[in-house]
Structures are given as C-alpha cells and as structure tokens.
Amino acid sequence: MKKHNFNAGPAILPEYTIEKSIEAIKDLNGSGLSLLTISHRSKDFDAIMDGAVAATKRLLDIPEGYSVIFLGGGASTQFYTVPYNFLGKKAAYLDTGSWAKGGIKEAKLFGEVDVVASSKDKNYSYIPKGFTIPEDADYFEICSNNTIEGTEILEDWDVKVPLISDMSSDIFSRPMDVSKYSLIFAGAQKNFAPAGVTIVIVKDSFLEKVVRPVPTMADYRVHVSKNSMQNTPPVFPIFAALKTMEWMEQEGGVKEMEKRAIARSEKLYDELDRNKLFKATVEDPADRSRMNITFLLKPEYEELQDAFLELAKARGLVGIKGHRSVGGFRASCYNALPMESVDALVAALQEFEKAN
C-alpha cells in the first residue's frame, strides 16, 4: 500500500534526497568509496560542506555579513548554546509552547529571563500579540513554528534587540528576511535532512557580543572560524541536506515551497472547518501553522478517536496521532509532502464523517 508520511520528525524527505543518498552511500562520485567512509578532511567532503553553505545562502537570500554553520546535536543543543554565548544579564523569550519552553528553561541557567508573553492560558493555540520587549535585553528569542501546538509566526518581526528564532520546523518553507535576525537555528529532521545536524545562521557582528568564556564546542565563533570543521561534522546528514537543497532549487526555491505549503494547508484547514466531526485546534487563520496542522474530534465525538486512527492506518496515513503532550491529531505537511497525500487525508476525514 502507498504510504502517506505525515510524521512530525524525522519526517518525509524528497525521493531525490533518498535516491542520491543511496547512490553516494554505495559510491561517492565514482570514487570507489562510500560517503559513510570518507574523511571529513577530503576534497569530496569540502565540496559537500561548501555546497551546503552556498545553497543555504542562495535559498534564503542571506545577506553579506552572515555565516552559515552545520553543527552536531539537535536543535535542543541550541537551547543552551544561545544563552551560554549571549545571555549576560537578561534575555527576553516568547512562550508559545513546548519548544519555546525548552529554550526558556535552559536560559534560566545563565541569567534573568523575561517571558514577555505566553499563550499558555489557551493551550498555546495562538500567538501572543501586543507585548513589550525590554530594550535592555541581550536578545529576544522566539520559536517561529510550534511543531507540537500547530501555530506559526509567518512574519519577520522588527524588534529593537537582537532577534533569535528557532525555525526547526519551518525553515525553507517561505522566503524570509534574514536581515531581521541575529541568529536562526533549525534542527534538520523536520524539513530538510535526517536527524544529526542543526543549521545555524548567525550575523557576524552579533558574534562580537559573546558575554563569557565558552567551551570550545559551544562557541559559535569557533565553528564559524573553522567552517563547521572544529571536529568531525555529521557527514551524512550534511550531504542529505545539500541534496534536499538542490531539490528545492530545482523545484523553484522557497517561493515555490511556500506556494505548495499554502495550498496543502488551506485544503486541510478548509476541510477541518467544514467537517462536522473535527475542528482545527488553532482558530485564528493568521496563527495557523502551514507545516503542522493540529486537529481534534469535537467534544461530542471524542470517543471516536481510536476509530479514526484505525481508518487512517487502513488508508496508509502515517504519523497523524497528535503529540503525546497534547493528544488529538497532527498532520505534518513539510516541503516534500505531495498534494496527493493531503487529498488522501481529506478523503479519510470525509469518509469518516459519512460513516458517523
């Protein structure tokens, strides 16, 4: 049976990335060696690393004065690396859910944390508005796409202090204005590569603001000066990231990725708004994630939860159970997800409505 991969992460990747990875694992560029067995100091790998940095810069139209590095460890590692480097006295955070809280928790180890606003009062089902960011904060950190709760910040905000964003689950899903940010980080396994690498885009002038001595592997300045080669980088995930970037460029870049994300998510939200059994957990269309569409059975139909999961399984819909912390359902619709998979989910929602 054809499987429709709605996994939240690790998640769907383009066939192109999988095929090119298989080829390279067998034999990289006719070298007679597997990608998995080459030196990270080889010319072959230099080309992969340089290619991935250059493709990131092209795709996101990154201006001069920014560096792109590929680090081991997940996005969670950045939760402490950011404050380790930049939280001197006080930092501001926006509490939009589980991953935002991950950053807040670690920052408290290093200094004062001002949580400027929170959407906790409504289970993180909206993006807080109308808050004030203290002008003496060392930085303001947000999570642009709340993978678990299904909200997304789709604008590049203008703020008076350095802006930092965890874009783990929506990087490369829209054109963006990188110049608004001092640092962006994104774990790979949601939207561009297998787990094991995190991309960091950092403004070079921000690196002059490091507030304390930092261990080598947590020091952004080291990784920038060593082109992500201070130690052995995650060779395979970086190769796969490069292949996904090639695929995105061939398909029309992040503009086209955005077009597809809008088409997929609108189709799903329209069905959820119409269907008598289900509802989207995020009500305000402006706050709805295009990447992670979270939904529930209405209270009067709640007992049908397991029955819908059964139907989903029978129709080849993989990964639509909501995160264990929030329940319900979640359809993660990352860049590589074809519209045909969204159509299959919509058909299942309609079939289930008819049967109940």
Ligand X SMILES: *Cc1c(COP(=O)(O)O)cnc(C)c1O
DSSP calls for 68-125: EEEESS-HHHHHHHHHHHH-SSEEEEEE-SHHHHHHHHHHTTTSEEEEEEE-GGGTT-
Q: CB-wise, 67 or 168, nearer to ligand X?
A: 168
Q: Which residue in the list 20, 95, 99, 170 is annotated as catalytic?
A: 99
> Would you give the end-to-end CA distance of the chain in angstroms?
25
Calpha distance 306→78 (Å, rounded): 36
Among 74, 233, 319, 322, binds ligand X (CB under 6 A): 74
Q: CB-wise, 9 or 322, nearer to ligand X?
A: 9
Q: For the chain, how are helix, strand and coil distributed in percent, rounded to 5?
A: 40, 15, 40
Binding to ligand X by residue 169, rule CB under 6 A?
A: yes
Query: Tokens in use for 135?
Result: 């002008």
Among 14, 83, 150, 187, binds ligand X (CB under 6 A): 187
Among 35, 60, 143, 201, binds ligand X (CB under 6 A): 143
**166 among known catalytic residues:** yes
**114 among known catalytic residues:** no
What is the nearest approach in angstroms of ligand X to the Cβ of residue 177?
Answer: 20
Classify residue 99 by burial, with Cβ atoms within 10 Å: 0-12, 13-18, 19+.
buried
Binding to ligand X by residue 234, rule CB under 6 A?
A: no
Contacts of 261 (CB under 8 A, 6+ apart): 173, 174, 290, 291, 333, 335
**270 among known catalytic residues:** no
Binding to ligand X by residue 290, rule CB under 6 A?
A: no
Among 7, 42, 76, 179, binds ligand X (CB under 6 A): 76
- Binding mask 7-26 vs ligand X (x if CB under 6 A, - otherwise)? --x-----------------
3 state SS of 55: helix
Classify residue 22 by burial, with Cβ atoms within 10 Å: 0-12, 13-18, 19+.
exposed
**Residue type for position 82:** V
Size, binding site for ligand X by CB under 6 A = 12
What is the nearest approach in angstroms of ligand X to the Cβ of residue 3?
Answer: 22
Among 81, 85, 119, 147, binds ligand X (CB under 6 A): 147
Query: Tokens in use for 100?
Result: 């935002």
Binding to ligand X by residue 95, rule CB under 6 A?
A: no
Binding to ligand X by residue 179, rule CB under 6 A?
A: no
Q: CB-wise, 75 or 304, nearer to ligand X?
A: 75
Calpha distance 237→59 (Å, rounded): 18
Q: Which residue in the list 138, 166, 170, 287 is annotated as catalytic?
A: 166
Q: Residue with the closest Cβ to ligand X?
A: 74
Find tokens 């998510």 and name the residue. Answer: 265
Q: With CB under 6 A as the contact rule, which of the stretches 53-61, 84-92, 114-122, 165-173 interacts with ligand X?
A: 165-173
Q: With CB under 6 A as the contact rule, which of the stretches 74-82, 152-160, 228-236, 344-352 interacts with ligand X?
A: 74-82
Calpha distance 274→144 (Å, rounded): 27
Binding to ligand X by residue 75, rule CB under 6 A?
A: yes
Nearest C-alpha neighbor of 242 from the set 185, 176, 192: 192
Q: With CB under 6 A as the contact rule, which of the stretches 68-76, 199-207, 244-252, 329-337 interacts with ligand X?
A: 68-76
Alpha helices in the chain (DSSP H): 15-26, 43-59, 75-86, 98-107, 220-225, 235-251, 253-274, 305-314, 339-355
Active site residue ranges? 99, 166, 190
Contacts with ligand X, residue ranges (CB under 6 A):
9, 74-76, 99, 143, 147, 166, 168-169, 187, 190
